[in-house]
């Protein structure tokens, strides 16, 4: 099994679960937001490949002999994509072209049974709940549109080029190894850090905001079932 982004928050939790199920796991990560400390290098069933999904040669090496691909590598948050046109372009390249690269190398490998893609709830934008897979998208940010482009690539390769795929839209994920500072931290991580330091929790606005949260353990089980 290949996990792109396997040194990150969600990816490393997925790797841990796959190992307990008896799989041999390859981790492909550029450590842009992931950490080598999340990689269980002492486990003989783990291989780590340092590389970027924009580098097809590196991907080609990582995907050799693999049966399944979990594609989690991405520029993975909204805020960085809003900082400048250059960052918006980087987001598009990483999430759209990077996903195409993963799919094309999976096709060329000729043995991939399924590619499971980590899409995003940003697909829904400000649309009121309940949210359904079939409703039209509301793309408010470069990140949202780039992640949906990844979904479109998955659909195209599944329907046209013989690569079985599943796209899964994540909402706000929390749990072990979640970021607690910086642009990639969500409120649960910030609260956890403040609580651990004995500080009062920082409430933005009037405290009436609503958010959808899902534990990383449930995300991992959903990915495996996909």
Q: How far apart are the first and last CA of the chain?
A: 14
In this structure, the number of other CB atoms found within 10 A of the CB of residue 22 comes to 7
Supply 221's token pair.
């089980």
pLDDT at 83 > cutoff 90: no
> Reduced to 3 states, what is the DSSP secondary structure of residue 68?
strand
pTM: 0.88
The answer to whether residue 174 is catalytic is no
Supply 48's token pair.
């780590």
Q: pLDDT band at residue 182, thresholds of 50, 70 and 90? A: low
Fold of 2-174+213-225: Rossmann fold (3.40.50)
Q: Please state the rounded mean pLDDT for residues 172-198.
A: 72
- In this structure, the strands spanning 165-170 and 114-120 are parallel
Instruction: Report domain extents, the chain.
Output: 2-174+213-225
Residue 106, C-beta contacts closer than 8 angstroms, at least 6 positions apart:
63, 69, 112, 115, 157, 163
Distance CA 202, CA 224 (A): 35
**pLDDT score recorded for residue 84:** 83
Distance CA 191, CA 201 (A): 6
Q: pLDDT band at residue 175, thresholds of 50, 70 and 90? A: confident
Q: Which of 117, 143, 174, 184 is catalytic?
A: 143
**pLDDT score recorded for residue 88:** 87
Whole-number Cα distances in Å, 129 to 64, 132, 145, 167, 226: 42, 8, 20, 20, 24
| Position with higher pLDDT, 192 vs 158 | 158
């Amino acid at each position: 099994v290949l996990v792109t982004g396997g040194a990150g928050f969600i990816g490393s939790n997925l790797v841990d679960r796959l190992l307990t199920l008896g799989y041999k796991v390859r981790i492909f990560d550029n450590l842009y937001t992931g950490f080598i400390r999340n990689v269980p290098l002492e486990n003989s069933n783990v291989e780590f490949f340092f590389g970027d999904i924009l580098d097809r040669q590196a991907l080609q090496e990582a995907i050799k002999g693999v049966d399944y691909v979990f594609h989690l590598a991405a520029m993975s948050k909204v805020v960085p994509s809003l900082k400048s046109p250059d960052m918006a372009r980087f987001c598009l390249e990483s999430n759209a072209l990077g996903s195409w690269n993963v799919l094309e190398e999976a096709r060329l490998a000729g043995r991939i049974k399924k590619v499971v893609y980590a899409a995003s709830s940003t697909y829904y934008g400000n649309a009121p709940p309940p949210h359904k897979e079939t409703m039209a998208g509301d793309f408010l940010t470069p990140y949202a549109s780039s992640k949906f482009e990844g979904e479109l690539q998955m659909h195209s390769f599944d329907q046209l080029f013989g690569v079985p795929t599943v796209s899964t839209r994540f909402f706000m994920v929390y749990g072990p190894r979640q970021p607690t500072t910086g642009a990639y931290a969500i409120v649960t991580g910030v609260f956890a850090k403040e609580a651990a330091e004995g500080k009062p929790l920082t409430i933005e606005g009037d405290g009436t905001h609503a958010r959808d949260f899902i534990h990383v353990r449930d995300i991992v089980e959903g990915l495996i079932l996909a």
